[in-house]
Structure 1
Amino acid sequence: MRKILCAVGLAAIAFAPVSAQPEAKAPKQGKPPIDWTIMHAQVILDSLGFSPGIVDGREGQSLTAALKGFQTARGLKTSGALDPATLWALHEYRARRPVTRVTIDPAMLAGPFVNPMPKDPEDQAKLPALGYSRPLEKLAEMFHTTPEILVELNPGNGAIAPGTAFFFPNVLAESRDYQGELKPAWRQTLTDLNIDARQPSGDHIVVDKSEKVLKVFDADDKLVAQFSASMGSQHDPLPIGTWKINVVDTNPKFHFNPDLFWDAKPGDEKTLLPAGPNGPVGVVWLDLSKEHYGIHGTPEPQNIGRTQSHGCIRLANWDAARLALMIKPGAEAVFQE
């Protein structure tokens, strides 16, 4: 990768000098170390709405899909790789560094936290909220990564507490001037997930089963955003066809109906689960004209595109929240093979 950069005269592409990076902790056995060029590319792609999934400084299917989306939008060869032409296009956004050092404030550590999370829906229904398991998990979602990556970025930093400074992937929102009459709780969710208030205006979406992505197009049919997604399963296949988005429900409660889940346990009963980022549908539900189907968040962002769903389209919470700002009720949703 470094040789490619030098070959095209981009050694100073702001895939930042090593001295500007934290001393990352050695990863678990079998995992490659963080590649700062890849992490920088992931951070830029994330900020542009071509989500690489988990920002972790490593190659993977979500990064490949994000690069293909970005390349398509820019009229580049869709190699899915950080080839010279793509690096040159990303160079325009080099001012956004791959990591940022943030001093923790009390609001960033605010709960409620639930640990352990009850497995039975009946017990979950008794909770006030289906919150994160711990502050580290909340911080990871806030910066579009995982707790493990935060530990790698901050070896020996000690306990997470107000006033301490940590390194995070630099996905900080540049604007929090959210428009419209938003519920205070939803405004706080957007803030917690570092969702930029300036999002492209989407006219319709396409969910592509073969590519495992959700694509957002504007009124001129231009690709303006793309997110990795989990969709369907052998038991609940993706409903191929054209549907409409009926309503966008933010911080939704979840009506658990065991009759709709092939893997429900005998004796499970219908129940209403409280809202929360670690609920079955995460922080937002985009209801579809196909009954019982929707586009929603997830409590397990690291599994997006790698596990199956109960037929719905599942995104990382931060991607589902961005989509909710891009798309309005009535928008067309095309599901294709």
Structure 2
Amino acid sequence: MVSVMAIAAADAEAQQRYRRYQSESVLVTPEGSILDFMPEESEVIVRIDSRGRRVLIDHYGNLVATEMPADLYFARNEQPRYEDPYRDNDDNGGFDGFDARDPSTITGTVPRHGDVTRLPLEDQSLPGFENDNAEGQLRNTAPTDNQDITSLDPQASQPAIQDTEPAIVLKNKSRAEITALQVFLDREGASPGVIDGKMGMNVTKSIRAWEKISGETLDPNDTEAILERLRLSGGMPIISYTITPADAAGPYVAEIPEDYAHKALLPRLSFTSTTEMLAERFHMDETYLKELNPGVDFSIPGTIVKVVNPGEARTGIVARIVADKGRKQVLAYGEAGELIAAYPASIGSSDTPSPSGTVTVERIALDPGYTYNPKINFQQGGNDKILEIPPGPNGPVGTVWIALSKPTYGIHGTPEPSKIGRTQSHGCIRLTNWDATELAKMVKPGVTVEFID
């Protein structure tokens, strides 16, 4: 009898709390559901955002819950589906689009795909250290960067590169018109990197690649023709998007620390804000996203914002990859020798060169962690112990690690997409997270990678 009464009392309390939520406010978890308990003061840090709402954060910097008006939560929680190439919701292994209510839709995952080999989560030997020494272990399995250049940080910025050919000059084109050109090229498999409404070498290389892919010649000054092509390939380059409760809730981290010891304390190197997450989802420069939406608070569900419309990810089977060190570009070829896709890249430098000759893809690690070992890596701050850096889009190698047969070299993503093609790397091939993800879905072990000067 006592148990029955207790259950009845709990149900009554829950119903009363639910009714109170509908008339007042709710605390929304990163999963998009209502927080059904109030954490102890010792468990969370309470912050007040710019709109006076409570934000609960744990002591590792993880979002626990965000306060929002109950009526807004219940009215906006059902949102349309958006086709997101980073998300796989089909338990049978297929892709069926992005559920806007799912807050885990971030670039830290890659859809399951027949040509992608997932690695086990247990520790694996570091290439070049094939023994049982714990100091030579790698977790899931991005390398401790270039074995031949052990003093360098894979996430550190390098000097700006010098381009090998002049950039194409456009005639009195607005940023919107340049955006249309960038979106067109992105949809056609000739990635311009981040879409920012600015003309530069990445766009020039993208145009040249598109001409090789299509066999046509493109006049980048003919905006009307480009807009017509866009109309036929998925619609206008800039569209409206409604921020969902899941978008606003995260999960996000307060900031990404510079110190690797502090990085290691975080459960995940997630995005730090809604704007960073949306910019990556829509292949945009984060600053440009904010400029397109002046004065907008991206943390409010239901807010309508302007984003670019990059369209569907490229598909196909890549049989050969060419890493052009001079052009700072990766070219992906099909089984018949045709060019399938091209990506701007940061590929080595004069001080820290990439390999020469031909190697092969050995494996693909999705959402990789990173092992920092000061005995074989660079010295980062005062850290003198092995550190396990968690995965996430803001990790040292981004969301994808494509390991090559030359030990510790690979193709990977980056936490700083706007620097791709504009700075040099430490020997590996660095792409934007979305380009690395797209390429990872089209390759498999055994694919050749040729480095050319």
Q: Which whole-Å CA distance do the structure 2 matches of 1:157 and 1:299 have between them?
A: 24
TM-score (norm 2): 0.58
Q: Hey, what does 1:150 align to over in structure 2?
A: 289
1:262, CA displacement in angstroms? 4.8
Structure with higher RCO (Cα < 8 A, 6+ apart): 2
Call closer, same or farther: CA 1:287–1:97 in 2, change over 3 Å: same
Question: Which of these residues, 261, 270, 282, is aligned with residue 122 of structure 1?
Answer: 261
State whether structure 2 residue 362 is matched by structure 1 residue 246.
yes
Q: Hey, what does 2:195 align to over in structure 1?
A: 55
* Amino acid in structure 2 at the alignment position of 1:49: G
State whether structure 2 residue 230 is matched by structure 1 residue 93.
yes
Q: Hey, what does 1:82 align to over in structure 2?
A: 220
* Amino acid in structure 2 at the alignment position of 1:282: G
Alignment of 1:112-191 (within 5 A): 112-173=251-312
Call closer, same or farther: CA 1:309–1:144 in 2, change over 3 Å: same
Give me the CA root mean square deviation. 2.3
Call closer, same or farther: CA 1:238–1:260 in 2, change over 3 Å: farther
Q: Is the 8 A contact 1:122 1:269 kept in 2?
A: no
Q: 3-state SS of the aligned residue for 1:132?
A: coil
Question: Which of these residues, 435, 438, 441, is aligned with residue 322 of structure 1?
Answer: 438
Alignment of 1:255-294 (within 5 A): 255-262=371-378, 264-265=380-381, 267-294=383-410
1:172, CA displacement in angstroms? 4.4
Q: Which whole-Å CA distance do the structure 2 matches of 1:74 and 1:172 have between them?
A: 18
Segment of structure 1 superposing worse, 234-243 or 215-224: 234-243
* Amino acid in structure 1 at the alignment position of 2:361: I
* Amino acid in structure 1 at the alignment position of 2:248: L
Q: Is the 8 A contact 1:39 1:57 kept in 2?
A: yes
Segment of structure 1 superposing worse, 93-102 or 305-314: 93-102
* Amino acid in structure 1 at the alignment position of 2:229: E
Q: Which whole-Å CA distance do the structure 1 matches of 2:340 and 2:226 have between them?
A: 16
Q: Is the 8 A contact 1:205 1:332 kept in 2?
A: yes
Q: Which whole-Å CA distance do the structure 2 matches of 1:75 and 1:57 have between them?
A: 25
Gapped regions of structure 1 (runs ≥ 5) = 1-31, 174-195
Q: 3-state SS of the aligned residue for 1:242?
A: strand
* Amino acid in structure 1 at the alignment position of 2:287: E
1:163, CA displacement in angstroms? 1.1
Call closer, same or farther: CA 1:146–1:89 in 2, change over 3 Å: closer
Segment of structure 1 superposing worse, 87-96 or 140-149: 87-96
State whether structure 2 residue 208 is matched by structure 1 residue 68.
yes
Q: Which whole-Å CA distance do the structure 2 matches of 1:46 and 1:233 have between them?
A: 26
Call closer, same or farther: CA 1:138–1:216 in 2, change over 3 Å: same
More helix by share: 1
Q: Is the 8 A contact 1:109 1:138 kept in 2?
A: no
Q: Is the 8 A contact 1:207 1:336 kept in 2?
A: yes
Q: Is the 8 A contact 1:34 1:56 kept in 2?
A: no
**What does the per-residue CA deviation read over 1:270-313, in whole Å, with 9 as the maximum and x for residues that have no partner?**
22111100000001100110101110000000000111212110
Q: 3-state SS of the aligned residue for 2:441?
A: helix
State whether structure 2 residue 227 is matched by structure 1 residue 111.
no
Q: Which whole-Å CA distance do the structure 2 matches of 1:150 and 1:323 have between them?
A: 25
Q: 3-state SS of the aligned residue for 1:92?
A: helix
Q: Hey, what does 2:450 align to over in structure 1?
A: 334
Q: Is the 8 A contact 2:230 2:237 kept in 1?
A: no
Call closer, same or farther: CA 1:287–1:299 in 2, change over 3 Å: same
State whether structure 2 residue 374 is matched by structure 1 residue 219.
no
TM-score (norm 1): 0.77
Q: Which whole-Å CA distance do the structure 2 matches of 1:33 and 1:133 have between them?
A: 33
Q: 3-state SS of the aligned residue for 1:286?
A: strand
State whether structure 2 residue 179 is matched by structure 1 residue 39.
yes
Greater gyration radius? 2
Q: Which whole-Å CA distance do the structure 2 matches of 1:217 and 1:42 have between them?
A: 21
Q: Which whole-Å CA distance do the structure 2 matches of 1:44 and 1:123 have between them?
A: 41
Gapped regions of structure 2 (runs ≥ 5) = 1-171
Call closer, same or farther: CA 1:110–1:248 in 2, change over 3 Å: farther
1:33, CA displacement in angstroms? 9.0
Q: Which whole-Å CA distance do the structure 2 matches of 1:268 and 1:234 have between them?
A: 29
1:109, CA displacement in angstroms? 3.4
Call closer, same or farther: CA 1:260–1:314 in 2, change over 3 Å: farther
1:87, CA displacement in angstroms? 7.4
Q: 3-state SS of the aligned residue for 2:363?
A: strand
1:49, CA displacement in angstroms? 1.6
Identity value in percent: 40
